[in-house]
């Protein structure tokens, strides 16, 4: 190898190395950004329509919001009972949809407990005991979380099955499907199914 040939080779390697390095650096920066984007964000999937489980979900949501995190609750199936308005007209729904809507409780003040429900006496007892201990009501936990920026996404498919419409739900919610939920979940550090 002649001298000029070697210099050429070295320059070639240097150039390739330089470019390779900056490309590598760019790739690493992108990956770090992707990790930092998650930064403790939380996704909750609320499948349950029971008072105790909904309490847990919204207390966790509020806590994470207080820590400055982005929180999303994807509400599906029985969970929809939790975010219904206390009263809405079922006009224009099919017979079976009307039946389901009539049989299901509406909103945080009406939902049962998962244990010790005793045909509706249990929830009254727990709400009374929680009131005595100054535990915030489920309804106001939901409102507060929304004020803090909680994103509530109601499952389109479950709403369709039960004949529920967006206007039957509390204000400020969005409607979406599994891809929306997964997209949020992949951008979170933790996802809980309740």
Q: Which residues bind other proteins (CB under 8 A)?
A: 40, 59, 62-63, 65-68, 133-136, 141, 144, 148
Helical axes 138-147 vs 51-66, angle rounded to 10°: 30
Handedness of CA 102, 105, 109, 115 (dihedral sign): positive
88 or 148: CB nearest other proteins = 148
For residues 29, 35, 37, 43, the Cα torsion angle rounded to the nearest 10 degrees is 170
Distance of closest approach, residue 127 Cβ to other proteins, in angstroms: 14
144 or 173: CB nearest other proteins = 144
Distance of closest approach, residue 145 Cβ to other proteins, in angstroms: 9
The C-alpha angle 113, 74, 97, rounded to 5 degrees, equals 70
- Rounded to whole angstroms, the Cα distance separating 122 from 24 reads 60
Q: What are phi and psi of 37, to 5 degrees?
A: -60, -35
The answer to whether the CB of 79 falls within 8 A of the CB of 47 is yes
67 or 157: CB nearest other proteins = 67
67 or 125: CB nearest other proteins = 67
10 or 66: CB nearest other proteins = 66
How far, CA to CA in Å, does 151 sit from each of 2, 26, 45, 181? 68, 32, 12, 11
């Amino acid at each position: 190898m002649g001298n000029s040939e070697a210099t050429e080779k070295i320059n070639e390697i240097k150039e390739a190395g330089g470019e390779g390095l900056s490309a590598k650096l760019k790739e690493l920066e992108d990956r770090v950004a992707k990790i930092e984007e998650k930064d403790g964000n939380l996704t909750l999937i609320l499948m349950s329509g029971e008072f105790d489980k909904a309490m847990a979900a919204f207390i966790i949501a509020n806590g994470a919001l207080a820590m400055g995190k982005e929180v999303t609750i994807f509400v599906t199936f029985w969970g929809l009972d939790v975010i219904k308005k206390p009263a809405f007209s079922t006009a224009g729904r099919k017979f079976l949809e009307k039946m389901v809507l009539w049989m299901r409780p509406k909103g945080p003040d009406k939902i049962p407990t998962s244990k010790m429900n005793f045909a509706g006496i249990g929830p009254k007892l727990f709400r009374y005991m929680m009131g005595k201990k100054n535990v915030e009501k489920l309804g106001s936990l939901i409102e507060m979380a929304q004020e803090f920026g909680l994103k509530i996404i109601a499952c389109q498919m479950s709403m369709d099955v039960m004949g529920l419409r967006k206007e039957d739900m509390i204000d400020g919610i969005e409607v979406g499907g599994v891809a929306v939920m997964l997209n949020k979940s992949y951008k979170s550090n933790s996802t809980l199914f309740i």
